[in-house]
Structure 1
Amino acid sequence: MKQLYLAKSATLTIALLGLWTGMAQAQNTKLKTKSGAGKVKTTVPMGSPSGAGISVANLDPSVKPCDDFYRYASGTWLKNNPIPDAESSWGAGSELARNNRAISLRILNQAAADRTAKPGSNAQKVGDFYASAMDSAAIERAGLKYLQPHLDKIEAVKDLAGVQRLLANPKSHVGNSFYGFRVIQDLKQNDVYMAFFSQGGLTLPDRDYYLKDDARSKTIRAAYQTYLVNTFKMLGDSPATAEKNAATVQRLETRLAQASRTRVAMRDIQAMYNKRTVAQLTQDYPNLNFPELLKLNGLGSVQDLVIAQPEFAKELNTMMSSEPLADQKTYMRWHLVTSATPALPKAYVDEAFNFNKVLSGAKQQLPRTRRALAATDGALGEAFGQLYVDEAFPPAAKARAKALVENLRAAYAERIQATEWMSASTKAAALKKLNAFVVKIGYPDKWKDYSTLNVSRESYLNNMFAAAEFAYQENLKKYGKPVDRTEWTMTPPTVNAYYNPVLNEIVFPAGILQPPFFDAKADDAVNYGGIGSVIGHEMTHGFDDQGRQFDAQGNLKDWWTKEDADKFMAKAAVVGQQFDAYSPLDSVHVNGKLTMGENLADLGGLTIAYAAFMKTPQAKAGQSIDSFTPQQRFFLAYGQIWRRNQRPESVRQQIQTDPHSPSQYRTIGPLQNMPEFHTAFDCKEGDKMVRPAATRAKIW
């Protein structure tokens, strides 16, 4: 599985600011802002069983906590838990996800075995989708039978107008071809939806994979060429034609990459909000045919769009008229096939995995059960999620998590009030935003309606395409309707959490509200250091360098004084410089600008969680468990949730593409700045876990 990131994905590159690269909507509790407000109540009793929530066996006592707390907290676990062959990394989140999968697979196998489910019911759809994904014999027999009609549509294109229609048609299933298009909340008027056009069209994880000339990038491009050639040959191309077509795809994608913004540039939210009228877009980019795109997607009434990267649209407009039609068709043929690969015969899946081995370092393909589970969760996540929460998430867990959230919110309010660098007016606006946080825990109040999605056991590929079309149409249908504030972006079994700035909400799926993050049998120190730091992380995203640009209502609107904003950015720059210096591999450094938001969220989240924990009876009593003080247990819990072994290939890819820092730096980075940690473990000036006072980061 992917590392637990507190995710960052979806609507825009900034849309969800979360924990990893893994449910009723609660009423907001109004915070008092006068002296004495924010009293925190304990959520689990003191005197929990010795060792609950923290594994003493994971510690490496040969490492001094003030030298390398990451190794101290989890060193023995790191030594004893090699990465499974099918994984690119393995950590605490992986173990929790494995436990969740055991429950999920039991549910899915039961659903697939039940042939009595009412036609059209969620149980029928979940069971049939999973069964079709597991039926490898049927997939082999089908070959390209169900893909061929889509290949034929590409082959039938005769001119630029045909390309435009194919790209605009939601039934064409040409994958990630050329650009992205969807409906999202208007960032500056978030009670309405807007149409959004963005850069896209790449197969490799990032633009830089096409453009860098280092040895690693060249190796990946060579492996990609092999992947392309072999796939085209399986589609029936001669070896010479396959080589030519592979070079065509790489050439077109490289041209798109050159026009694409970097991931750091994509973090500039204001620069992405470029609203243009359809008339202006038609004049500026005639070859993209926006009227046709909108018409075929049922959005003929749309008057304007946001173009996230105008320079990309300009280059794509030129490409559509200058690139040979045959080359464009070859490119779309490739993207159709790659979007369909999971449902194609084994030879196609194996070829894709051979390339992934080079990219991620994984040595063995995930078992079909894992792949089928992930696909079912992606296609029918809330239908399947209802079955999951019935078994894995009792109502009491939801209530305990809600209490923790409110305790963190109260502690955050006090920290904002006590902040010495922020003016009174900005503090008031910050408290207003904090007060307005919507909290979603476990699962949605209103489950998604899948009644228009047809699923059968005939064809996994047809089911995949039907689910993709359903999701796309569900997105488009939002336009012109009131914003749905009950919607979730993650499914209930997901081991992750997120903050959504345009809804000003923090969301914690049921999947993450389990050990080691949340343990009903553990003492408060463990839960505040674990899920408490996760909660604080998501809250802090509302005040990081991106989230702070959205107001209490979720609109992209500046509510800071210039002086306060300048002070904040200066403090954030200290964190950026700190992480720039970290190097997990030779010549590979963390990108402090790319990871800025997540690093700020880790530091702020841990700071707030500790402040909330110190109000609990356990912290005040100071009673040790397993020879560790409550404060030490808090930090040990935090350190142990980030334990993770990772392949070098995966580390390189994360550094290049992911807004989250590698796990060891997510552990030591915040702690090096925290005097509370230094006191808890008696660290002194000069110790590796103590940053010099002049370079120590402090924001909240």
Structure 2
Amino acid sequence: MRSRKPTPRPTALVLSLLAVLALPPAYARAPVACADFHGNTNAAWLETHPLAPGTAQVSALGELQARARQQQIDLLEAARNAPGDDVQKLLGDFWASGLDEAAVERDGANAIAPLLERIGAIRRDRDVAPAIAALHQVGIPVAFNFSADVDLADLTRHVGYFSQGGLGLPDPAYYTRSDADTQALLGRYRAYVEQILALTGTPADALSEQSALVVDLETRIARASRSPADLRDPRSRYALVPVDGFGKQYKKLQLEDFLEAQGVQAQQVSMADQALFQTLETLVDDLPVAQWRAYLQWRVGDAMAPYLARPFRDASFEFRGRVLEGLTAPPSREQQVLDAINLAAGPMLGHQYTLRYLDDATAARAKAVASQVRAVLGEALDADTRMGADAKAVARSKLAGLQIEIGRPQRDLDYSLQPMGRGSFGGNMLIASTWRHASEMRRIGQANAGRRWSVLPQTPALAYDISQNRLVVTAAMLQSPVLAPGDSEASAYGAYGALVGHELTHAFDARGRYVDDRLELRDWWSAADVTAWNGMAERIARQYSALAWPGLEGIQVNGMQTRDENVADVAGVELAWRAFGKAQPDAAKAEKQAFFEAWARLWAENAAPAEATRRASIGVHAPGQWRANQPLANLDDFGGLYGCRVGAVMRNKPEDRISVWPGLTPSE
């Protein structure tokens, strides 16, 4: 062993230098907390998560999504190898059939052969409507869409919605615009239609004629359809009409029989665009049966292409993936199969996911923290001087009725469906899609809207459901960096609690004002309430508009475009900070700092210039740096805790400080 020589005692300057050199490179270059808290807190993460070639963005919440996907894959692998019950057997067989690419190739297009045979048997116009109904039953909507959704006149129940659909292109305008780019896209679409028709049995010498018939029929539907902008307001898609009389009004479409085929016995449905359905009625009557056969054949092939043999998958990806979505390569086979299972059997997988990955203690903790943030919001509403007496009464009542639902929706699933084997992935897809469609149809006419979530439990999500006045927190959301077993109370409130506060604020903001405490659609704010809220919100918008978009030269955050989400971020931190103070009144300085660090870690991200430019142009959220920093710069307690001078980047001057819930500041 070599002897050690005496080491001179270093100076304070040398100690400081050694401390910096001993840290990872990211920390060596980390911004000062009072100049950029996001960069300071996330320095190591930002250094160790560079963008891989071809990657648009990496983020902490993106990692959470990737982990949830892997958990689903692990669950399905376990179900494939050692299923514990009948449901796991179903899921395991579904998964195995999709991963067995050799079996998929052997199966070819066998899964859709019965559907194609049914379409081929259409001889008269009266045969068209039953074929349309049969395809809807297996989850392939053609000619139009029919779905279950909340009744806008009674948000506690579901009604059936007849709406436009049946097109292979995402916007009706693609069929009618005459500019060169649209015409080029339409030409590529026509070529794709020909590919699918060829794969589904159309002879080569008839492909050009048959594809022309398909595009012509879709163009006629498109001309009778409305633009996406016209449909943005849900009220434009809602109009209850009696089912009685459908038999006479829609003799060719046979909509009364259609509803019976879907298992729907409701006396009313929504049909906001009766002119469209009159057009469809005329098309069934006037167009040759051969044209309808070609169209239905194409729609089956296109809808099922991702689940069939490689020629189908390749054709679908080349147009839908590469041309329409701009993808350079298809997802991995695992991801494709997982997407299919979530589409067709998502609630089934979600139930199993929750049982496996969400423990009772974490769910109870999530409920407790959210309840405490909700209680603080009650204090904020009581102290709010913006709201008039009438609005405040509605707000208090609305908050009292606001429910917190954790993990998965509390509803029973009916697992009665045809058994799945491992020989036909396409066949299993149709079995599962039929089950999912029937499950949706059973909602119609029922007062069960409160038992439905619009998001699957295996998808990370924490959201306020405006139609049901509830906070929904999925099982997949309750893990790092949001809320994980072992997280300190400070971290739980700083990350999860602030997200809860963000979402609960939406119940009482410029969006929440349109649904009242009785779940009725009406504006419960007065003109003075609107003016007061907008005054605060516009100050926040101006504040964010002064911020540069990270990584982009000469581009600022669009404060008006991101206004409502920025307001909710500021509000969420305020509410969670107060709730943490009440839960841990004697918290040490390090614990308080852990609160803010947990918030900042949520927004760690690196984005490519093209992705950043896209988000700056159309996104409703500010970039991660400002989602982390700006709410803290408005909260004087943060600046005081970190010793930031007044007027520093992370500690706004009093006249520049904005509070969404001013009754909560200063903290106790």
Class of the TM-score when normalised by the shorter of the 2 chains: 0.7 to 0.9
Match of 1:155 in 2: 120
Matched, 1:340 2:301: no
Q: Please give the residue correspondences for 1:379-398 in structure 2 after superposition, counting only pairs within 5 Å.
A: 379-398=344-363
* Cα distance in 1 between the residues matched to 2:180 and 2:556: 16
Residue of 617, 634, 638 corresponding to 2:584: 617
**Shift of residue 67, structure 1, vs aligned partner:** 7.2
Q: Secondary structure at the match of 1:169?
A: helix
Matched, 1:667 2:627: yes
Residue of structure 2 in register with 1:44 after alignment: none
Structure 1 residue 439 displacement after superposition? 1.4
Aligned residue for 1:465?
Answer: 430
Closer, same or farther in 2 for the Cα pair 1:445/1:194, shift >3 Å?
closer
1:349 aligns with 2:309: no
Letter in 1 for 2:339: A
1:640 aligns with 601
Report how far residue 396 of structure 1 moved: 1.2
Task: Specify the alignment match of 2:4 in structure 1.
Answer: none
1:191-228 CA-to-partner distances (Å, cap 9, x unmatched) read 44322222333445556777889998788666655544
Give the CA deviation at 1:141. 0.5
CA distance in structure 2 between the aligned counterparts of 1:490 and 1:277, rounded to whole angstroms:
30
Q: Does 1:167 align with 2:132?
A: yes
Q: Which amino acid aligns with 1:529?
A: G
TM-score, normalisation: structure 1: 0.75
Aligned equivalents of 2:38, 2:312: Cα separation in 1: 40
Q: What is aligned with 2:81?
A: 113
1:305 paired to 2:269: yes
Q: Which deviates more from structure 2 when the two are superposed, residues 301-310 or residues 434-443?
A: 301-310
User: CA shift at 1:413, angstroms?
Assistant: 0.9
The match for 2:256 is 291
- Matched residue type, 1:200: G
2:600–2:629 CA contact under 8 A, matched in 1: no
Check 1:276–1:481 CA distance in 2 against 1; reply closer, same or farther (3 A cut): closer
Query: Which stretch of the first structure deviates more once superposed, 283-292 or 432-441?
Result: 283-292
Q: CA deviation at 1:123?
A: 2.3
- Contact 1:499–1:506 (8 Å) recurs in 2: yes
Answer with 388-397 or 229-238: which moved more. 229-238
Unaligned runs of 5+ in 2: 1-22, 663-668
Contact preservation (8 Å) 2:139, 2:437: no
Instruction: Please give the secondary structure, in 2, of the residue aligned with 1:365.
Output: coil
Are the aligned partners of 2:34 and 2:639 in contact in 1 as well (CA < 8 Å)?
A: no
TM-score normalised over the length of structure 2: 0.79
Q: 1:652 to 1:243 in 2, by over 3 A?
A: farther
Show CA shifts across 1:534-569 (max 9, x none).
222332332344443223343334433354245546
* Higher mean C-alpha deviation, range 498-507 or range 380-389: 380-389
Partner of 1:136: 101
Superposed displacement of residue 309, structure 1: 4.9
Output one character per residue of 1:225-263: Cα deviation in whole Å (capped at 9) or x when no partner.
Answer: 554444444445567855665566566656656665555
CA distance in 1, matches of 2:296, 2:276: 18
- Conserved? CA contact 2:494–2:598, under 8 Å: yes
Which of 368, 384, 405 is the aligned partner of 1:403? 368
What is the distance in 1 between the residues matched to 2:112 and 2:77? 27
What letter corresponds to residue 613 of structure 1 in structure 2? Answer: F
Cα distance 1:178–1:73, how it changes in 2: closer, same or farther (>3 A)? Answer: farther
SS at match of 1:640: helix
- Matched residue type, 2:584: P
2:335 to 355, 360, 370: 370
Partner of 1:432: 397
1:11-160 matched pairs, under 5 angstroms = 61=29, 74=42, 77-78=45-46, 80-82=48-50, 89-114=57-82, 121-160=86-125
Instruction: Decide which structure has greater helix share.
Output: 2
Cα distance in 2, alignment partners of residues 683 and 403 from structure 1: 36
SS of 1:441 mapped into structure 2: strand
Does residue 200 of the first structure (1) align with residue 165 of the second (2)? yes
State the alpha-carbon separation in 2 of the partners of residues 245 and 113 from structure 1.
45
**Match of 1:624, as an amino acid?**
A
Alpha carbon RMSD of aligned pairs, Å?
A: 4.6
The question of 1:538 aligning with 2:498 is answered no
Residue identity matched to 1:304 = Q
Instruction: Please name the residue that 2:525 is paired with.
Output: 560
Counterpart CA distance in 1 for 2:558 and 2:279 is: 28
Matches within 5 A, 1:220-619: 224=189, 227-237=192-202, 242=207, 265-278=230-243, 288-299=253-264, 301-309=265-273, 313=277, 326-355=290-319, 356-483=321-448, 485-565=450-530, 567-568=532-533, 601-617=568-584
Matched letter for residue 642 of structure 1: W
Taking a change above 3 Å as real, the CA distance of residues 150 and 267 of structure 1, as seen in their structure-2 partners, is same
Give percent identity, aligned residues only: 27
The Cα shift of 1:143 comes to 0.7
Distance 1:594 1:242 in 2: 47
Deviates more, 1:455-464 or 1:639-648: 639-648
Q: Does the 8 A contact of 1:86 with 1:365 survive in 2?
A: no
Matches of 1:208 and 1:637 in 2, distance apart?
46
Which structure is larger by alpha-carbon Rg, 1 or 2? 2
Equivalent of 1:178 in 115, 138, 143 = 143
Deviations 1:44-90 (A, max 9, x none): xxxxxxxxxxx998779565777776666557645643556797643
5+ residue gaps, structure 1: 1-54
Which residue of structure 1 lines up, in the alignment, with residue 12 of structure 2? Answer: none
Change (3 A) 1:123 1:469: same
Partners of 1:253 and 1:648 in 2: CA distance: 38
Cα distance in 2 for residues equivalent to 1:451 and 1:169: 19
Deviation at 1:279, TM superposition (A): 5.4
> CA separation of 1:515/1:174 partners in 2, compared to 1, >3 Å: closer, same or farther?
closer
